[in-house]
Amino acid sequence: MQVTRNRAESTADIGVPLDPFVLYLINMGILERIKEIEAEMARTQKNKATEYHLGQLKAKLAKLRTQLLEPPKGSSGAGEGFEVTKFGHGRVALIGFPSVGKSTLLTLLTGTHSEAASYEFTTLTCIPGIINYNDAKIQLLDLPGIIEGASEGKGRGRQVIAVAKSSDIVLMVLDASKSEGHRQILTKELEAVGLRLNKRPPQIYFKKKKTGGISFNSTCALTHIDEKLCYQILHEYKIHNAEVLFREDATVDDLIDVIEGNRKYMKCVYVYNKIDVIGIDDVDRLARQPNSVVISCNLKLNLDRLLARMWEEMGLVRVYSKPQGQQPDFTDPFVLSTDRGGCTVEDFCNHIHRSIIKDLKYVLVWGTSARHYPQHCGLSHNLHDEDVVQIVKKKEKEEGGRGRFKSHTTGPARISDREKKAPLKT
C-alpha cells in the first residue's frame, strides 16, 4: 500500500482538515515504518562497528514518532475529546493500566465520584476532581487505563498521554500484586511520545546556524558519542550548520532529544496500590524503590504519605502577604510554581499584579529564605514555601497599602509555629 508518509507535507498545501480515513492511512504508513525500524534495530548487534548505523536508526525513529504526534489541521490535537479546563494551583494526572485503582483513588482523595469496578476500562473519559491540600487546590485527573501500544494509538492511549503532558506531575498507578514489568512498559509508552520522567534535560548546548558548518565541542570526556556520530545524526535531520557543545557525557538518545526539542521533562511518583493483597516483604521492597509510594485504597493506607509526596514533587511555594501593621492571613496563601527553577520576589509581585513592580521599593521577608527577620529583599530574592512577604512601595504612606493588595481584616489569623518563634513586627 502506497500512502503519503509525511503528514506535514500532505496538509500544508491543501490547508483543509484531512478526511479521517486518509489520516488513518497516513498513520498506518508511519506505524509500519516505525515497526520496520524497530525490527531492524532489534536485529542489529550492538558494537563499535554498528554504532553509527544504530544512531542513524534512532534518529529516523524519533523523527517518525514526532510526525505521529503532529496534530492534523482542523483538530485541536491528540487530546481531542478529553479537554478539561485547568483549575487550581496545579494539575496531576493518574496514569496506569486498567483496573489498578485510579478511579477508586480519585474518589478517595477528592470526594468526586468516579465509577470504579472490577472490570477493565470502567473509566472511558477524563474525570477531574479537586484535592485541597496545604491551603492549595490541586486538580487531580482520573483517566482511562492505557495498555501497551498506547503511544501508537491503541485504546484511547494518545488522548490519555496528551492529558498527561498537560499536567504538572504524573502519578503512575501500579497494581502491587501484578508484574513489576508494568512500570517499564508504561515508562516506554510515555517516552515514545516525548515524555521524560524524573530526568533533567541533557546538558547539551545546541544552536542551529545559517552558515559555518558544524562546530562540535565538549567540556568533558565523551564515551557514548563522537564527532562523526554527532555529524551523522545532524545530517539525518538535514542540519549542516550548527553549534553543539556537550557539557556532560551524553548519549545518542540525549542528543536526539535536544535536536527534537519537544520533550517534556516531568516528575512522576510511582504509586503501588493494593498492598493489602501482598506480603509485607514485597511491600517493603516496593516502598524502597526510588520515587515510589505504597498505598491501599481499600484500607485507606498511606494516603497522607502519597499527598505529602505529591506536594513535594509539585514544588509549589506558598507565600503569605502581610499588610503593614497587620498579621498575614495564614489561611489564604498565594501559591506559586517553581517551574523555572525557583520563585523570586519578582515572580510573586507579578503574580499579584503586573503593575506592582514599578512602584516597588523593596519587600520584607520572614521565613526560611530570610537570613534574619525581617530581611529587606529585592526582586531577585528566592522565596521559600511558607514565607511571609510585606511589599513596601516607593511612596508608601505610613498606613498600609490599599486597593490591589489582598486586604486582610483582623479575622481569625492562624498563628503558626514560626510566628511564635519570631513575631512578625515591622
Ligand X SMILES: Nc1nc2c(ncn2[C@@H]2O[C@H](COP(=O)(O)OP(=O)(O)OP(=O)(O)O)[C@@H](O)[C@H]2O)c(=O)[nH]1
Chain residues binding K ion by CB under 5 A are 99, 122
Interface region with ligand X, contact rule CB under 6 A, candidates 62-70, 78-86, 115-123, 368-376: 115-123
Determine, following the binding rule CB under 6 A, whether residue 183 of this chain makes contact with ligand X. Answer: no
Q: Which is closer to K ion, CB of 97 or CB of 405?
A: 97
Q: Which is closer to Mg ion, CB of 102 or CB of 263?
A: 102
SS (H, E, C) the chain: CCCCCCHHHHHHCCCCCCCHHHHHHHHHHHHHHHHHHHHHHHHCCCCHHHHHHHHHHHHHHHHHHHHHHCCCCCCCCCCCCCCCCCCCCEEEEEEECCCCCHHHHHHHHHCCCCCCCCCCCCCCCCEEEEEEECCEEEEEEECCCCCCCHHHCCCCHHHHHHHHHCCCEEEEEEECCCCCHHHHHHHHHHHHCCEEECCCCCCEEEEECCCCCEEEEECCCCCCCCHHHHHHHHHHCCCCCEEEEECCCCCHHHHHHHHHCCCEEEEEEEEEECHHHCCHHHHHHHHCCCCEEECECCCCECHHHHHHHHHHHHCCEEEEECCCCCCCCCCCCEEECCCCCCCEHHHHHHHHCCCHHHHEEEEEEECCCCCCCCEEECCCCECCCCEEEEEEECCCCCCCCCCCCCCCCCCCCCCCHHHHHCCCCC
Q: Which is closer to ligand X, CB of 158 or CB of 318?
A: 158
Nearest distance in Å: CB 369, Mg ion: 41
Determine, following the binding rule CB under 5 A, whether residue 107 of this chain makes contact with Mg ion. Answer: no
Decide which of K ion, Mg ion, ligand X, none touches 77; Cβ closer than 5 to 8 Å per partner kind.
none
* Residue closest to K ion, measured at CB: 122
Determine, following the binding rule CB under 5 A, whether residue 104 of this chain makes contact with Mg ion. Answer: no
Binding ligand X (rule: CB under 6 A), the pick from 11, 67, 103, 327 is 103
What Å distances lie between residue 124 and 78, 120, 127, CA to CA? 16, 10, 9
Binding ligand X (rule: CB under 6 A), the pick from 47, 118, 380, 410 is 118
Determine, following the binding rule CB under 5 A, whether residue 103 of this chain makes contact with Mg ion. Answer: yes
Q: Which is closer to Mg ion, CB of 122 or CB of 251?
A: 122
Interface region with Mg ion, contact rule CB under 5 A, candidates 17-25, 116-124, 165-173, 250-258: 116-124
Q: Which residues inside 289-308 make contact with ligand X, applying CB under 6 A?
A: 296-298
Determine, following the binding rule CB under 6 A, whether residue 120 of this chain makes contact with ligand X. Answer: yes
The grid coordinates of residue 212 equal 559555518
Decide which of ligand X, Mg ion, K ion, none touches 256; Cβ closer than 5 to 8 Å per partner kind.
none
Decide which of ligand X, K ion, Mg ion, none touches 296; Cβ closer than 5 to 8 Å per partner kind.
ligand X
Number of residues that bind ligand X (CB under 6 A): 24
Q: Which is closer to K ion, CB of 99 or CB of 139?
A: 99
Binding ligand X (rule: CB under 6 A), the pick from 34, 62, 68, 100 is 100
Determine, following the binding rule CB under 6 A, whether residue 101 of this chain makes contact with ligand X. Answer: yes
Decide which of K ion, Mg ion, ligand X, none touches 101; Cβ closer than 5 to 8 Å per partner kind.
ligand X
Nearest distance in Å: CB 146, ligand X: 8
What Å distances lie between residue 366 and 154, 416, 418, 419, CA to CA? 52, 12, 9, 9
Binding Mg ion (rule: CB under 5 A), the pick from 11, 107, 110, 123 is 123
Q: Which is closer to ligand X, CB of 55 or CB of 145?
A: 145
Q: Which is closer to K ion, CB of 112 or CB of 350?
A: 112
Determine, following the binding rule CB under 6 A, whether residue 121 of this chain makes contact with ligand X. Answer: yes
The grid coordinates of residue 51 equal 554504532
Q: Which is closer to ligand X, CB of 296 or CB of 321?
A: 296
Output the CA torsion 380→313→352→131 (10° steps): -170
CA distance 134 to 305: 14
Q: Which is closer to ligand X, CB of 128 or CB of 144?
A: 144
Point out which residues bind Mg ion (CB under 5 A): 102-103, 122-123
Point out which residues bind ligand X (CB under 6 A): 96, 98-104, 116-118, 120-123, 144-145, 273-274, 276-277, 296-298
